[in-house]
Amino acid sequence: MDLWFTESDMKTYGLVFKIKKTLYVGKSKYQTVAVFETVDMGRLLVLDGLVMSCEYDEFAYHEMIAHVPLYTHPSPENVLIIGGGDGGTVREVVKHDIVKSVDLVEIDEEVIKVTKEYLPILGSAFDSPKLNIHIGDGIEYVKDTDKRYDVIIVDGSDPVGPAVGLFSESFYRDCYERLKEDGIMVAQTETPYDVNLRVHVPQIYKNIRKVFPDTRMYIANVACYPSGMWSFAFATKKYDPIKDFQGVRYEKDGFKLKYYNDQIHKACFILPNFVRDFIDG
Query: How distant, in Å, are the alpha carbons of 107, 155, 157, 166 from that of 161?
Result: 12, 15, 9, 10
Measured distance CA(156)–CA(101) in Å, rounded: 20
HSE value, Cβ hemisphere, 13 Å, CA-based, for 116: 8
Domains of the chain: 3-54 (2.30.140.10), 58-280 (3.40.50.150)
> Which pLDDT score is estimated for 62?
98
Residues annotated as part of the active site: 155
Write phi, then psi, for 201 (nearest 5 degrees).
-65, -50
Query: How distant, in Å, are the alpha carbons of 27, 80, 203 from that of 114?
Result: 11, 22, 33
Amino acid at the residue 191: T
Q: What is the value of pTM for the model shown?
A: 0.95
> Which pLDDT score is estimated for 5?
85
Residues of the chain where predicted confidence (pLDDT) is lower than 70: 1, 8-11, 160-162
> Which pLDDT score is estimated for 6?
85
> Which pLDDT score is estimated for 13?
73
Task: Report pLDDT digits (tens) over 209-230.
Answer: 999 999 999 999 999 998 899 9
> Which pLDDT score is estimated for 160?
67
Measured distance CA(51)–CA(197) in Å, rounded: 13
> Which pLDDT score is estimated for 198?
81
Burial of residue 72 (number of CB atoms within 10 Å: 0-12, 13-18, 19+) = buried
Q: Which residues pair with 21 in a beta bridge?
A: 37
> Which pLDDT score is estimated for 2?
77
